[in-house]
Amino acid sequence: MEINQPDPKVGLSGVLRAVAVMAVVVVALIGVLAVLEIIPREVLQEWFTKAGLVVAIVVGAVVALALIARGGR
């Protein structure tokens, strides 16, 4: 690698950090809106149920892809 070439891992790390910061800000904002009762509790429970299901699906897909990729070697 040349001196003037940026390391590709550093760029990805920065993007992941930015996404993580945005996620924390969004969760905090939703929490504040729920505490102030701008978002009703029923709606918030529905969102968390759907978010939990989406996370479970994504985790399952990532595990399946990892197993498929490892089995091919």
Q: Whole-model pTM?
A: 0.58
Q: Is the pLDDT of residue 40 over 80?
A: yes
Task: Provide the pLDDT confidence category of residue 3 given band limits of 50, 70 and 90.
Answer: low
Structure-block tokens of residue 34:
């729920």
What mean pLDDT do residues 56-66 have? Answer: 94
Q: Note whether 17 and 11 are within 8 A (CB).
A: no
Q: CA distances (Å), 30 to each of 2, 8, 44, 61, in order?
A: 45, 33, 9, 27
